[in-house]
Amino acid sequence: MKRFSLFTFLYLALGVCLTAIALGYPNLPSSLKTSLLINAGASYIVCILSTFPFWREKTLNFYRRQNSVVIIPWLVIGIKIVWMIWDAQSQNWTMEAILRAFSELLVVLLFAEIIVITWQVNSEH
């Protein structure tokens, strides 16, 4: 049975937005357009994978096996967001810098889902 969650729809929305941006702005540099489309494709793949039960089970198994690494998702999210803001700000908030930062949101969503799953496990016990 397939299972949809909030993150399934967030992955789908991110993929749609990245695709729309890449195809809607014809004057973007080709490397940025390629990056946007690759990240959109990865977001679609993660969206599909997150509907299967093994997705949650693998996360739970990793969490139970490596209980000492609970802080890692928080660190990755924090460092990634600070890096994206610093990168966009250092380039004077140009459209390309903002879009490059926006295309990296998939990593933040993945680790946020790991945090939510671990919270659910902890609240069940």
Question: What confidence tens digit (pLDDT) does each residue in 69-87 have?
Answer: 678 888 999 999 999 999 9
pTM for the whole thing?
Answer: 0.84
Counted domains in the chain: 1
| 1 in any annotated domain | no
| 60 in any annotated domain | yes
| 115 in any annotated domain | yes
Distance CA 45, CA 55 (A): 12
| 59 in any annotated domain | yes
Q: Which tokens is 72 given?
A: 């890692």
How many residues can be counted in the chain?
125
Owner of token pair 């919270």: 119
| 63 in any annotated domain | yes
Average pLDDT over residues 58-71: 71
Element (H, E) at 83: helix 71-90
List the domain range (segments joined by +) for residue 14: 6-124
SS3 state of residue 25: coil
